[in-house]
Chain A
């Protein structure tokens, strides 16, 4: 019995050592990113690590507003990538982040399950009574962009009376972040929701019906990146920002459905 316990302890400590070993020897760069950047950052991580073999990139992906709260409360983090400027500005004002720079743009689209139980065909259908829509709270960037797009549509007068109120009355849940919206639509539990164009990834595309929002009502999401003050890897953090802004980083962003910055003075390269 005692032998068996000793063996167990040995095995467990071995596992712990294996798990901690390489990370402990490396330099780590902690990156907080908007949930919509999940696929991009997961692809950027190995590329950056390959160029800097001694570095391990740790990713924390959540709603930008959640990331901001965590950073404000002292979560150790070197770089923050937000899905809107609203969740970056308070950090700059508080002296936590410095020199934010927009590194990509995004658009908003409507998605419905492929089976389309709510019969969503056009943006006007969002106001159909009884439709089950999912979004996020206005603090979360996609929640704000969604409301802005709806307000713009309502203001155009093309969508009938009280369009905004009728759409918002169809909201059945405010998910923690944009990936929660996509998940509920993919599962077929929600009839529809708005997410970023970049969220309709190759894996998602065959399972959803995507409905575009007219250009004049759509919003352009600005994604800022910034180095956070007081981090233990300041130079490395700057290097990561440079990587995201580099041609390679921009190509990767474009590959993941974002609108890259494009060459200067040539307009959008989307």
Chain B
């Protein structure tokens, strides 16, 4: 009976599984493995790969630096309007990336709300690598902040109190007790937001534009090369799949945290 039920369930699961697996199989089938190697070194692929890894890593560092205080605050402070801030933090997750791009342009563009004052002192952000990092930070930040918040909430308050009763300063307690106890969630959040940064497309195209070696990250290079040399698009796609696999393996098996609702949305 149970065997039969599980067999039925397995059959019912096939369509969803096929939907996920088939496109990946199709992509890999088109990728001529023997010739992939020759493409990895071509300038389009190499520069997109380097740029993507560089920008998303910088974005991840910025997200940790500015996201950790916010996550800690949301985890521990009770105040009026907390739910409003909570909702605001989640906004970039559901916001279409193109909207994020327009919003960034209207704010940090050369004639934008803040950008116009920056332009007055000679700083323009659009069309620069910094704009790529900003777009990634904006869309990927919430993935870390959410995870980190859950991590901080899971730290037993008694342990924090015990540490402070034993004479450790608040800062020392934070770095020696809270962070180690929340480390799995924090690392999962970092990996997740980093992965989301690597996949960022819409906001980057809108806000940073697309120029090889400066702003053309892997997803943008895939979009462009479909029109010029589909092989480049295939090589980059396979590379992105490999990166995504690595991310899932790291979060699932190394950190023991399953990507739940926080799985980055590819744009």
A189 at the interface (CB under 8 A from B): yes
Q: How far is the CB of B93 from chain A (nearest CB, A)?
A: 23
Q: How far is the CB of B109 from chain A (nearest CB, A)?
A: 5
Question: Which residues of chain A in 123-171 are interfacial with respect to chain B, using CB atoms and an 8 Å cutoff?
Answer: 132, 134, 137, 139-140, 171
Distance of A188 Cα from B110 Cα, bound (Å): 7
Q: How far is the CB of A14 from chain B (nearest CB, A)?
A: 25
Stretch with Cβ within 8 A of A (4 or more), from B58-66, B76-84, B186-194, B204-212: B204-212
B127 with A173: CB separation less than 8 A: yes
Contacting residue for A139 out of B105, B111, B205, B228, CB 8 A: B228
Contacting residue for B209 out of A66, A69, A175, CB 8 A: A175
B142 at the interface (CB under 8 A from A): no
Interface size on B, residues (CB 8 A): 20
A174 with B210: CB separation less than 8 A: yes
Stretch with Cβ within 8 A of A (4 or more), from B152-160, B173-181, B219-227: B219-227
A105 at the interface (CB under 8 A from B): no
Distance of A225 Cα from B110 Cα, bound (Å): 39
A132-B127, A175-B210, A184-B209 known; A137-B224 Cβ under 8 A: yes
User: What interface size band does chain A fall in?
Assistant: 20 to 34
Distance of A66 Cα from B226 Cα, bound (Å): 8
Distance of A69 Cα from B223 Cα, bound (Å): 11
B251 at the interface (CB under 8 A from A): no
B211 with A117: CB separation less than 8 A: no
* 10 closest cross-chain pairs (CB), A and B: A173-B209, A172-B127, A65-B227, A188-B111, A139-B227, A189-B126, A139-B228, A174-B210, A173-B211, A173-B127
Please give the residue numbers on chain A whose beta carbons come within 8 Å of chain B beta carbons, in ascending order: 63, 65-66, 68-69, 117, 132, 134, 137, 139-140, 171-176, 184, 187-190
In addition to A69-B227, A176-B210, 8 A-B residue pairs with Cβ atoms within 8 Å of each other are A68-B227, A69-B226, A132-B127, A173-B209, A173-B211, A174-B209, A175-B210, A187-B105
